[in-house]
Amino acid sequence: MRFSEIICNEELKQRLMQMVDRDMLPHAIMFSEKSSGGALALALALAQYVNCRHHTDNDSCGECPSCHKYRKLIHPDLHFVFPVNASKDISETEKKRPISDYFLPIWRHLVMSNPYFGEQELYDAIGLDNKTGNISVYEAKRLIEKLALRSFEGEYKTVIIFLAEKMNQEAANKLLKLLEEPPQGTLFLLITQAPEKILPTIISRCQLIQVPPISKEESKSKPITNENSMYSEVVVGLLKAGLGKNLLATFPVWESLSELGREKQREFCIYTENYIRNIYMVANGLPQIADINPNNEVIIGEFAQRIKPSFYEKGINALDQAMTAINSNVNSKLIFCDLCNRLLLSL
């Protein structure tokens, strides 16, 4: 993947290439982003640039053998770590100690199709159903084995760790040792959406780079997905039920939400908060700073006229409480029954 092919802040792209060209590249970089913010695409472009045999000061060449292998994500010196769990798609033996290697064909297909995917899309692709992925100590041990070998072709052995905050304590401690005494010619590229969940000692050994959110204009170039279409329909139905004080109409809503996996439940709450904020901005005459899907403009405009001002703070607070309860593994039916009631009473 070349820098010219990815959606990202141009200044940041130039900064990364200059770090390589001026021999100022650290052994570990941590990219901090919002969900689906493009850090994975950026890490892949940097990894390809580092090992390209004929890169210029603007990009990797895209033509050398190294670039061809990076494009297909099959370069022998490129290693991936991402959160996994037991899945129906792997053998019974592999289920006991699942690691990223067991899912690499699916991972490659997902990344090459759309490198801007989110956490739940990864879990759906590798068949985790309602489970949450994690990066275990077995993953760390396998990584140590790989890095003990000399590089096959490239100048650098590159390790890309996607969602590094998913490391458990044992895995984090082993990674810390690798970062303290990195094998020669190894580049670690960590991607996180929650740096506060990562050991401070790991963060201190990485150069932290904040990846700016993809702008509304840039997002038009991202591959189109329908991941939030279901959430949009649910939110619209819920708000209409609340405005009509139709308690019965909320029953199928909270029942269906309670059957989702924890990650999808969190996604729904975040989506709903953003939806409510967009209504608030339109209601206050600020549609230009609202990130509104064109398909939702009419209905959001209608809600902005009908919803009373006191709802917004109460609605956001109710969703925040729901996310806290989800993280605490409270019974899902209780969470979403309570959430729907709170939203209805607030409207």
Q: Is residue 194 part of a domain?
A: yes
Say whether pLDDT at 191 is over 90.
Answer: yes
Give the pLDDT confidence of 56-110 residue by residue, as tens digits: 878 999 889 999 999 999 999 999 999 999 887 787 778 888 999 999 999 999 9
Residues 97, 173 within the same domain: yes
Q: Quick one: angle between helices 229-243 and 247-258, nearest 10? A: 150
Residues 236, 154 within the same domain: no
Q: Is residue 267 part of a domain?
A: yes
Distance CA 108, CA 201 (A): 31
CB 125 within 8 A of CB 110: yes
Identify the domain boundary among 198, 219, 240. 219
Which residues make beta-bridge pairs with 209? 31
Say whether pLDDT at 259 is over 80.
Answer: yes
| Verdict on whether the full-model pTM lies above 0.75 | no
CATH of the domain at 251: 1.20.272
Residues 144, 14 within the same domain: yes
**In terms of Cα–Cα distance, which of 32, 29, 41 is closest to 4?**
41
Provide the residue range defining the domain that includes 107.
3-219
Q: Is residue 167 part of a domain?
A: yes
Residues 103, 233 within the same domain: no
Q: Is 217 helix (H, G, I), strand (E, B) or coil?
A: helix
Both tokens of 250, joined, read: 């909320």
**In terms of Cα–Cα distance, which of 294, 271, 292 is closest to 283?**
292
Residues 43, 189 within the same domain: yes
**Distant-in-sequence, close-in-space partners of 285: CB < 8 Å, separation ≥ 6:** none
pLDDT-above-90 percentage for the chain: 55
- pLDDT of the residue at 217: 61
Identify the domain boundary among 172, 197, 219. 219
Residues 207, 234 within the same domain: no
Residues 63, 186 within the same domain: yes
**In terms of Cα–Cα distance, which of 166, 162, 304 is closest to 243?**
304
Residues 79, 201 within the same domain: yes
Q: Is residue 224 part of a domain?
A: no
Residues 212, 236 within the same domain: no
CATH of the domain at 207: 3.40.50.300
Q: Is residue 255 part of a domain?
A: yes
* Alpha-helical regions (H) of 99-136: 104-113, 119-125
Distance CA 35, CA 192 (A): 9
Residues 9, 141 within the same domain: yes
Say whether pLDDT at 220 is over 70.
Answer: no
Say whether pLDDT at 221 is over 70.
Answer: no
- pLDDT of the residue at 267: 84
Residues 150, 178 within the same domain: yes
Identify the domain boundary among 219, 247, 262. 219
Q: Is residue 67 part of a domain?
A: yes
How many domains does the chain fold into? 2
Q: Is residue 96 part of a domain?
A: yes
Q: Is residue 32 part of a domain?
A: yes
Give the pLDDT confidence of 298-326 residue by residue, as tens digits: 899 999 999 999 999 999 999 999 999 99
Q: Would you place residue 216 in the very low, low, confident or very high pLDDT band (cuts 50, 70, 90)?
A: low
CB 293 within 8 A of CB 224: no
Say whether pLDDT at 19 is over 50.
Answer: yes
Distance CA 68, CA 159 (A): 18
Residues 305, 180 within the same domain: no
